[in-house]
Amino acid sequence: MSTRLLFVSKGEEASSTRYRALHFFPLWRAAGFEPSHVTASGGVKATVDMLRQAKRADVVVVLRKTFPAALLWLLRRASRRLVFDFDDAIFCNTDGTPSRTRMARFAAMARTCDHVFAGNAFLARHAAAFNPAVTLVPTCVDVTRYRIEADKPADSLDLVWIGSHSTRKYLAEAMPWLKVAADAVPELRLKIVADFDLPGCGVTTLPVAWRAGSEAQELAASHIGIAPMRDDDWSRGKCALKVLQYMAAGLPVVSSKAGANAEVIVEGETGYLVSTVAEWTERIAQLARDAELRRRLGEAGRRLGATDYSVEPVFGRLRSVIEGLA
């Protein structure tokens, strides 16, 4: 009889659900498991359905969510084995400041579970304070989806940023150095693959509506991937997804020297880590005038992504833990 896995999340469209659960489903099935997903948001009916399905599963994996004490108690009682998987600093506020409420719920979740999967080293350290059974499982991408040959514009140098309205603040805060970089590289254009634009920001923009079916094509048709971010606890909890997407698409990356981005990018080999306006401008200008450098860094990033951050090797980490629990 195959092992039944139940993944619990806030919804199928959530990034954590797509990248830390759903795209492993074919591999789970091929390995003889029965994976399924249930949404835990939606009121009493959704909660009852979640608990009913948890009773039938051999292992329940909760993705990123924490629960009130009573509901967590019920879920623990219903689950033979309970695993917590998280890829954000959900123990603090989104501006990086401490939150007693969030930390208390996070601590209770980590203590209650049989095992914890953490998306990066920073998150793993916080989880280990409450549960010694922690495995670092980096967010990964299906690199085959990004192996696309695409024509890049000849009359512009396209920096690409991919994200959503929830991370818009990081790009908006990058405008001062982007304006300086645009002065140094007149042909610079900012492609925003998201659900918003930044009109009147002082830099030429190309807004592109994010779609799952076209995101890889839009990245491949760009020249350089950028990943500005803050250096606070909330940002340190980010798991470098956009950096991994850029690398999979064969793009060189310029990123703030912070968080998991600094763990993933190999300085001078797959991209550059920067901290000041001058460094941002210098690296953008350097890559703008050297197509061979862009190609070399992009190919190195693609190889690194395939080796360490693609679906198959990361699935191996997950499978070994789940098999031990089941």
Q: pLDDT digit string (tens) for 180-189?
A: 999 999 999 9
**Is residue 136 over pLDDT 80?**
yes
pLDDT for 195-249, tens place per residue?
A: 999 998 889 999 999 998 999 999 999 999 999 999 999 999 999 999 999 999 9
* Closest by CA position to 130, among listed 150, 105, 147: 105
> What are the angstrom distances between the C-alpha of 307 and each of 140, 143, 163, 217?
11, 10, 24, 22
**In 127-202, beta strands by DSSP E:** 134-136, 157-162, 188-194
Instruction: Give the span between the Cα atoms of 33 and 315, in whole angstroms.
Output: 13
Amino acid 239 reads C
The verdict on 94 and 191 lying in the same domain is: no
pLDDT at 41: 85
Q: In the numeric block, which tokens belong to residue 284?
A: 């953008």
Beta bridge partners of 115: 83
pLDDT at 13: 86
pLDDT at 240: 94
Instruction: Give the span between the Cα atoms of 171 and 161, in whole angstroms.
Output: 8
pLDDT at 201: 87
Start-to-end CA distance of the chain, whole Å, equals 12
| Cβ atoms of residues 255 and 274 within 8 Å | yes
pLDDT at 322: 97
The verdict on 133 and 278 lying in the same domain is: no
Q: Which residue's entry shows tokens 């959530």?
A: 14
Beta bridge partners of 224: 159
The verdict on 133 and 214 lying in the same domain is: no
The verdict on 158 and 207 lying in the same domain is: yes
Q: Give the chain's domain count.
A: 2
pLDDT at 200: 86
The verdict on 103 and 197 lying in the same domain is: no
Q: In the numeric block, which tokens belong to residue 289?
A: 């005038």
Cα dihedral value 251, 252, 258, 264, nearest 10: 70
pLDDT at 298: 97
* Residue 222, SS3 per DSSP: coil
SS (H, E, C) 78-101: HCCCEEEEECCCCCECCCCCECHH
Q: DSSP state, 24?
A: G
| Cβ atoms of residues 38 and 75 within 8 Å | no
The verdict on 121 and 219 lying in the same domain is: no
The domain containing residue 315 runs over which residues?
A: 3-140+311-325
**In the chain, beta strands by DSSP E:** 3-9, 33-39, 59-63, 82-86, 115-118, 134-136, 157-162, 188-194, 205-209, 224-227, 253-256, 271-274
**Is residue 35 over pLDDT 80?**
yes
| Cβ atoms of residues 175 and 203 within 8 Å | yes
Instruction: Give the span between the Cα atoms of 302 and 177, in whole angstroms.
Output: 27
What share of the chain in percent tops pLDDT 70?
100
pLDDT for 78-124, tens place per residue?
A: 999 999 999 999 999 999 999 999 999 999 999 999 999 999 999 99
The verdict on 158 and 175 lying in the same domain is: yes
pLDDT at 166: 87
The number of CA neighbours under 13 Å toward the Cβ of 324 is 11
Q: How confident is the model at residue 43 (pLDDT cuts 50, 70, 90)?
A: confident
The answer to whether the predicted template modeling score (pTM) of the entire model surpasses 0.75 is yes
**Is residue 303 over pLDDT 80?**
yes
Instruction: Give the span between the Cα atoms of 219 and 109, in whole angstroms.
Output: 37
The verdict on 254 and 294 lying in the same domain is: yes
Q: In the numeric block, which tokens belong to residue 164?
A: 């959503």
The verdict on 13 and 32 lying in the same domain is: yes
The verdict on 254 and 105 lying in the same domain is: no
Average pLDDT, the chain: 95
pLDDT at 236: 94
pLDDT for 257-293, tens place per residue?
A: 998 999 999 999 999 999 999 999 999 999 999 999 9
The verdict on 259 and 207 lying in the same domain is: yes
pLDDT at 256: 96
- Determine the Cα angle at 247 with ends 245 and 250, to 5°: 115
CATH of the domain at 252: 3.40.50.2000
The verdict on 128 and 245 lying in the same domain is: no
Amino acid 235 reads S
